[in-house]
Each structure stands twice: as C-alpha cells, then as structure tokens.
Amino acid sequence: MDNSKFYITTPIYYVNDQPHIGHAYTTILADVLACYHRLIGKPTLFLTGTDEHGQKVAQAASKNGITPQQQADMTVVRFQDLWKKLEISNDDFIRTTESRHKEVVQKILQDLFDRDEIYKAEYDGWYCVTCERFYTEKDLDDGKCPEPECGREVDRIRESNYFFRMSKYQEWLIDYINNNPKFIQPDYRRNETLGFLRKELTDLCISRPKSRLDWGIDLPFDDDFVTYVWFDALVNYISAAGYLSDDEKFKKWWPASYHLIGKDILTTHTVYWPTMLKAMGLDMPETIFAHGWWLVGRNKMSKSSGNVVNPMEFIDQYGVDQFRYFLMAEMTLGQDASFTEDAFIRRYNAELANDLGNMLSRLMKMIDTHCDGRIPASSTEGEDEVQLKNVAIDAIAKMVDCVENMRIDQGLVALAGVVREVNRYFEKKQPWTLGKEGKYEELGTVLYYAAEVLRIISGMLYPVMPAKMSELRLALGLKAGDPDYKNLKNWGETVVGTKVDLKETLFPRINVKKDSNKGGNQQKLQNKTQKQSSKTKKDAAEGIAQIEYTDFTKVELRTAKIIEAKKVEGADKLLRLQVELGEEKRQLVAGIALNYKPEELPGKMIVVVANLKPAKIRGVESNGMILAAGSGNLLRLVTIDGELPSGTVVR
C-alpha cells in the first residue's frame, strides 16, 4: 500500500430511504480507519456521499408530489445529520446532483464515445426496477431478478440504448485480479468475482431513454438519454478526488487506498468499475474491500423484513461512542455478524463498564484520597511494572498492524487485554493496602503506572470513541482532542503533579434487571424476524429443550490456540491447558486425557466458551470450557478449518 497517503471511500448511499445500521457501520468503519491513519501521521482523505439519480428516486418523488431534486434535498439531510451524530470526520461529502460531479461524468462519457468505447444498439431483455439493472433470459432466476437479496418481478423492455464495451476487458480483468491478490479482499470475494467472470461478460447498458426516465445526467452526445445510475455513481470516487478538474489534487490522492463496500454491490465495484477505469486509462484502486452484513438472528437486516436497526434510536438510548465501539469490536471484517441488544450490553458491561470505566474510577479515587488529586511520582520499576509497560507498548504496535491489515476487532482485543492487565496489576499490588500501611513510594509507582497505561489506551481508542476518550484524557489532566502518536509510543509521558478530575462515571453499567425497557428493541427485532419465516415451528424432540436466540447469544464462543498441555495430578481424564485467547493467556481444565496425549495438543486452534465463570476442578482453576464432540468413548475437539487468529468470535 502507498505509505505516502491514505484515501478511503464509502459507497455513496441511495437517498430513497432512511439510513440504517448497514449505512452506519460502513461509514463508522471508514471513519475509524481514517482516524487511525491520521493518528499515525499519514495524510488522509475520507470521502462519503449520496447517490441521487435513478428510477427509485424519481418514483419516490412522484409519490410525494415533489421534484426528484426536492426529494434528494429532503432525504440527504437524514444522512448528513446521522453522520454528525455519529462523529464522522469525513473530509468530503459528494452528491451526484452537484455540478462538480455531473460535469466530470459528461466529460468521461464524451471521451469514451469519441473513442468508440460507447456505441448505440437495440436492447431486448428484462429489467429490474429495484436493482436498476438489465438481465438476459438466461440470467433470470425462475423468471425473476437473480440478485439474492431481490428476487422481484422484472419487466420486458425493448428499446434503443447506449452500451459501454465492457466485454472487451474481460480477459484483462481476470489477469489483473489474479496478478494483484490485494485488489479484491477478502480472498473469497476475489474468488466470487472470478467465478462471475467465468461466464461470458456482456457489454454494459449505460443509458436510459428520457421517455422512460428523465431523472439523471444527460448524455452529452444525445439529449434524448440520461446516464445509467451505476455508471454515474461509481465516478464519484474520482470526481471528488479532482479528476478532470484539479490535476494536482487527483495526482495526490488517486488511486484510492480502499473502497469499502457491502458484499451486495461486489459485482458493480469489481467488474463494472475496473473496466470503466481501464477504458479511461486510469490506475486501479489499491483494494476493494467487501465487508459482511449485520444479521438479526440468522436473517439479514432489510426494510422488506421489517427488522432494520435504526442507529438514531440506538445511540439515543446507549450513546454514540458505545455504539461505535460495539460495531468495530463485534464484526470480523469480511464476515457477517449478528446484532443483538443482549450482545451489545454484554460487551459494553464487560469491556467498557467493568474493565475500562471501573479501572479509571478506582484510579481517580486512589489519587484523590492519597495524592491530593495529583499524579504521583514513580519510584523503583519492578518485574510487574516492566510486564505492564511491555504489554501496553506491544498493544500499540498490534493495533496499528491490525488497522493496516483490516483486523480492527483483533486490535481492540489487544487493547482490551491491556485494560485487563492493568486491572490485574492493581489487584496484585493492592494500592488501597499500600495507602493504609503508609507505603507511599510503592503506592506512587502503582498509581503512576496505571495512569500511564490509561493515557496510552485513551489515545489508541480515540479513533473508535473520540468523545469518551477525550473525557478520559481530561480526567487524567491531558488535553482533549487528537492525541500525539509519537507520545503514545513513549513510556513516561504522564507528567507528575498533574491535577486529575473525573467529572462523572465514564461508562455506567447497564443494569438490565432494573430497567424493563432494556432488551425491548431487540425483542421487537426478533418478533419481526420470526414473523417473516414461512416455516412451521416443530415441536422440540423428546428430551431436548428449545431455547430462544437471545439465550444462545449469552454464550461467548471464541477461538483459542493451545500453547501447552499437562496432565492434572491424580486425575486420569483431566489435562491442564494453557491457551492463547487473543492477547490473553488462560488456563483451562479439560477431560480429554483419554483421547489426546499432551504432546499432541500444542498449536491446535480450538473453540472455547470464553465467558464461563471460573471454577476449580480437582483443585485446579479453569477459566473457560473447550468444545468437543463425543460418541461412546471417542472424543474429538472442535477445531477451526483454515487460518484464524486466536480470540476470534465464533458465530
């Protein structure tokens, strides 16, 4: 990747409806990536915007008795307002109805037409209004739109149109994708595109006759036609970057570092867009990254299913930064993730309220009680202090590496591990006891090291939770706003004598039992999803209890790598396992000794129940439980097929 700059884009969102969690997630993800690159000092351009032409906007406008432009002006505000509320730091917001965009689209069209890359021909086939795409007879799925998330009725259309010679670039595109493995990510999306390209690629219809649709950008070479919405929309990535309007700007920012997209628009971005760029003579974007969908239970969120999460309502209830943190921590990029209120509350309480928020409150109280509210000096650095410092410094590098490799969730696992480490350090050193015993030098060291760790955490989590981390920084006597990355990497930047002041609890715990409204939104989502199912519920098999999905979500399954295995003394069936769970090391006791020898196990990637309460088995503490399948005397561990880092959530 080009290390001299970072240019990231979201899809431009269609303005015919309300923004939902899918829109929010992609935009927050882009924002977090942009903020991390700004943090490490890389020049960054973050672009988002809205797609405002096409048949669906025209239909919505007609239904509302207004012009399409008025419809777009009315609905674009919903996105702009939400982005402000979500603390999105985009550098540009482009609307396809702006003259700066329309002029570039028309210049491109004229150039391609003049070079015979665009031609006029008769079209006879099928058209899906929802997808705004043409299909041949063989493309249809049982006579309907073949798109997995559509499946609607299609209309037979016969008309003259203009076509882009996309088919001439098929072999070039196949070779380019094969020779540039980072071009389409994750890998299985690249394979999906290559699978699509195994069949003959047809030319792309890039116009609509005004007799059928007059809301769009006029073709510069034929006033009777407007531009197909996808050919128009994709150009935003270069029109906003200065193509054909500001050569210096375009030279600085193009090619894009990342186009972030949902997997439902993979073909348009990995087939249409690269062939268009090739015809224009422009470089390809470095990476097109398709993330997964947010599900409710096992169902994709969609308007037609009535199970869409309204981000405005959720952040009003729980807070903006908390929402941002959950979305970044919960989804492994490229995979689908399930959105439940229970999962949100569980992660929030565990990682933000119990670990980070509680650590800050304890530290502030100790400094206020024993140090007159000022950061104390540190004395001798012992083994525990060295370990804590190393864990914190290592997590900085881990987070940066995870950002560069699109593994934000794993970077957050590392930072959460640092917070747990400082809590363990606090428990081990017991500063409250040191204070009572008058051991003020030791007490000062403990409090200083804890404050220094929280300073680092406040900076490294700032791109994810800017407002809350500003509060944390102010509590530590630091300046609010963008932290200095160079200082974050240097241990000992906390200034002795700095006044600390925590105005209020940073992350108050959510007590579900005391608030009957908590969980109400999720129950509504579950009810709506269940109503969509046409399958008849069957009675539970005899002797097998059925559970609700919300019951299942309480179990946190994660991947874990076995580091060491030893027999438990005096127990024939038990093994003591040391496992790596992300950045955390744990001990588990498992009854698998009759089926596995200790030397066979190190290196295996297994699945564990990560949130099981600790228990002692034969006097040995076990922090979790492994998953295994058994039949008679045979027992086999549940392992992972393929490469995944330890600590990955199992869904």
Residue 532's pLDDT band, with cuts at 50, 70 and 90, is: very low
Bridge partners (DSSP) of residue 562 are 579
CA 11 from chain centre, in angstroms, equals: 14
Q: How do the domains of the chain map onto residue ranges? A: 336-489, 555-637
pLDDT score of 547: 60
What is the distance between the alpha carbons of residues 390 and 574, in angstroms, rounded to a whole number? 34
Tell me the residue type at 227. T
Task: Report pLDDT digits (tens) over 224-279.
Answer: 999 999 999 999 999 999 999 999 999 999 999 999 999 889 999 999 999 999 99
Question: In which residue are the tokens 């193009």 written?
Answer: 254
What is the distance between the alpha carbons of residues 205 and 266, in angstroms, rounded to a whole number? 18
What is the distance between the alpha carbons of residues 312 and 213, in angstroms, rounded to a whole number? 33
Tell me the residue type at 426. F
Collapsing DSSP to helix, strand or coil, 64 comes out as helix
Are 476 and 456 a contacting pair, CB within 8 Å?
A: no
Residues sharing a CB contact under 8 Å with residue 615, sequence separation 6 or more, in sequence order: 621, 622
| Assigned architecture for domain 555-637 | Beta Barrel (2.40)
Are 59 and 77 a contacting pair, CB within 8 Å?
A: no
pLDDT score of 573: 84
pLDDT score of 551: 57
Residue 541's pLDDT band, with cuts at 50, 70 and 90, is: very low
pLDDT for 600 beyond 70: yes
What is the distance between the alpha carbons of residues 374 and 231, in angstroms, rounded to a whole number? 60
Are 316 and 271 a contacting pair, CB within 8 Å?
A: no
Residue 297's pLDDT band, with cuts at 50, 70 and 90, is: low
CA atoms within 13 A of residue 288's CA, in its CB half-sphere = 27
pLDDT score of 515: 44
pLDDT for 84 beyond 90: yes
Which residue has better confidence, 151 or 643? 151
CA 238 from chain centre, in angstroms, equals: 24
The stretch 524-534 carries a mean pLDDT of 41
Strands lying side by side in the sheet with 218-219: 207-209, 222-227, 218-219
pLDDT score of 508: 95
pLDDT for 300 beyond 70: no
**Bridge-based pairing state of the strands 13-14 and 605-609:** unpaired
Which residue has better confidence, 179 or 22? 179
Task: Report pLDDT digits (tens) over 162-185.
Answer: 999 999 999 999 999 999 999 999
CA 84 from chain centre, in angstroms, equals: 19
Collapsing DSSP to helix, strand or coil, 484 comes out as coil
Domain spanning 336-489 has what CATH number? 1.10.730.10
Question: In which residue are the tokens 């069957």 written?
Answer: 538
Element counts in the chain: helices (H) and strands (E):
23, 26
Q: Which of 147-151, 306-310, 345-349 has the lowest mean pLDDT?
A: 306-310
In which element (H, E) is residue 252 found? Answer: helix 247-253
Task: Report pLDDT digits (tens) over 46-75.
Answer: 999 999 999 889 988 999 999 999 999 999
* pLDDT over 90 percentage in the chain: 65
Q: Which of 228-242, 398-412, 574-588 has the lowest mean pLDDT?
A: 574-588
Taking CA atoms, 109 is separated from 95, 102, 206, 254, in Å, by 19, 11, 9, 20
Residue 650's pLDDT band, with cuts at 50, 70 and 90, is: confident
Which residue has better confidence, 422 or 563? 422
pLDDT score of 539: 38
Omega before 255 within 30 of 0, i.e. cis: yes
What is the distance between the alpha carbons of residues 268 and 189, in angstroms, rounded to a whole number? 13
> How would DSSP label each residue in 434-451?
HHHTT-HHHHHHHHHHHH
pLDDT score of 127: 83
Are 105 and 280 a contacting pair, CB within 8 Å?
A: no
- Of the candidates 291, 289, 299, the one whose C-alpha atom is nearest the C-alpha of residue 339 is 299
pLDDT score of 518: 44
pLDDT score of 303: 57
- Of the candidates 611, 577, 588, 36, the one whose C-alpha atom is nearest the C-alpha of residue 328 is 36
Are 328 and 409 a contacting pair, CB within 8 Å?
A: yes
pLDDT score of 299: 62
Torsional sign, CA 32, 37, 39, 44: negative
What is the distance between the alpha carbons of residues 11 and 23, in angstroms, rounded to a whole number? 9
pLDDT score of 540: 36
The stretch 278-288 carries a mean pLDDT of 98
Q: Which of 440-454, 493-507, 637-651 has the lowest mean pLDDT?
A: 637-651
* pLDDT over 70 percentage in the chain: 90
Q: Which of 66-80, 177-191, 412-426, 560-574 has the lowest mean pLDDT?
A: 560-574
> How would DSSP label each residue in 305-345?
TT----HHHHHHHH-HHHHHHHHHHHPPTTS-EE--HHHHH
pLDDT score of 66: 95
The stretch 611-626 carries a mean pLDDT of 85
Per-chain mean pLDDT for the chain: 89
Question: In which residue are the tokens 């917070």 written?
Answer: 419
